[in-house]
Amino acid sequence: MTDLRQQALDYHSLPTPGKISVALTTSAETSYDLSLAYSPGVAEPCREIAKNPDDVYKYTAKGNTVAVITNGTAVLGLGNLGPMASKPVMEGKSLLFKRFANIDSFDIEVKHKTVEEFVNTVANIADSFGGINLEDIKAPECFAIEKALIERCKIPVFHDDQHGTAIVTAAGMMNALDIQGKDIKQANIVCLGAGAAAIACMELLIKCGAQREKIYMLDTKGVVHTRRDDLNEYKKLFANNTDKRTLDDAIEGADVFVGVSGPDLLSQKQVKAMAAKPIIFACSNPDPEIKPELALAARDDLIMATGRSDYPNQVNNVLCFPFIFRGALDVRARTINDAMKIAAVHAIRALAKEPVPAEVLKASGEKALTFGKDYIIPKPMDPRLCAAVATAVAQAAVDSGVAALEMPENYMA
């Protein structure tokens, strides 16, 4: 661990501090180049955009840029570290946008006193970008922030901690249910955690067919139930009319466990209490709610997923968010709606059922991968994800009426 710590610090500081930079896309070698790039030539696109604001997409980089914005109140699993301590994570997000979807990205860390101040700051700069990826903002403020920005901005606004996690979780979950021979409409689901990711995951699973009354959500005080008087408006949506009060109560006979909470909170005894052919998504990072080796020792009929790359079935947002934005930007979608999210779910889950190319096996350090209990979602290094997910998302945007452009001809061909 000491070696990893030093290697990570060196990676971020050498040979140049940080992980991203700005590169030029056009020539700037001669005086004439500069006369085109700046004065007097730059006046011409300015005039065109003044006449037709949509020409900003024609003459600037707006259409291929995403702002990654945070206030640093929920940085990874580290908590409220503040805006500057979140900057390495935001730069990392920008790196992923460029690496996986060739989207240019700028990280912006906002210091504010109120939700309204944060919203005003972001809304006032939003038109500079093609989309906004909100990141590492604590619940419940993140819900209000995203909702307000979606209403005020003319570009897609996407809180990845909520929706990216939900999309990848839903894709893997639906494949796991298929393998286990379970119907999502009949599945009893336990969700340990009641923050942004948990609520978004459960809402999307409901849109995919799960039944709200069969979901048992737990926060630090136990089961979220109808007789509690300490629930915020978001938890109230999952208040179950039940006598179950503890994880022990809820896990008895459960088909599915989703953990977005903290390490080592699910015991082997509780795993043994689940229904036949159970599914466990223990997504707390870096340490899951139960280590896979412990869970699999308790149940050999289990499908197990985590958020870690060193175990099978990694629930990783990079399977989703770069390509969601790629598709949204390419048809100039004004929002990222449920139809686009569900299209992404089905594109990701379908790709896991395809034969895996040798290049993916090599990049993933695997000898073989076949759809089944140890391979329910694609590997992050699978280059087919961009075309598959972006195409599905772009088409859904066009079909649902939120795109300004038609589907490009031979898109991603």
In tens, the pLDDT along 314-362 reads: 999 999 999 999 999 999 999 999 999 999 999 999 999 999 999 999 9
Average pLDDT over residues 372-394: 96
Q: Which residues are catalytic?
A: 38, 93
Position 1 scores a pLDDT of 54
Position 364 scores a pLDDT of 87
HSE (side-chain half, CA atoms, 13 Å) at 152: 18
Q: Distance between CA 189 and CA 63 in Å, rounded?
A: 40
Strands (DSSP E) found in 220-357: 222-223, 256-259, 279-282, 303-306
Cα distances (Å, whole numbers) of residue 330 to 90, 128, 262, 339, 393: 23, 17, 37, 16, 10
Position 355 scores a pLDDT of 95
Position 2 scores a pLDDT of 64
Cα distances (Å, whole numbers) of residue 44 to 27, 30, 33, 49, 50: 18, 19, 14, 9, 10
Strands (DSSP E) found in 163-320: 189-192, 215-219, 222-223, 256-259, 279-282, 303-306
Tell whether the model's pLDDT for residue 77 goes beyond 80: no
What is the residue-averaged pLDDT of the chain? 95
Position 286 scores a pLDDT of 81
Position 386 scores a pLDDT of 97
Average pLDDT over residues 59-63: 97
SS3 249: helix
Could you tell me the pTM of the whole model? 0.93
Reported confidence tier of residue 309, pLDDT bands at 50, 70, 90: confident
Average pLDDT over residues 60-68: 97
* DSSP conformational letter for 357: P
Compute the C-alpha angle 311/386/106, nearest 5°: 90
pLDDT in tens, 213-235: 999 999 999 999 999 999 999 99
Average pLDDT over residues 377-401: 96
> Which residues are registered as beta bridge partners of 375?
372
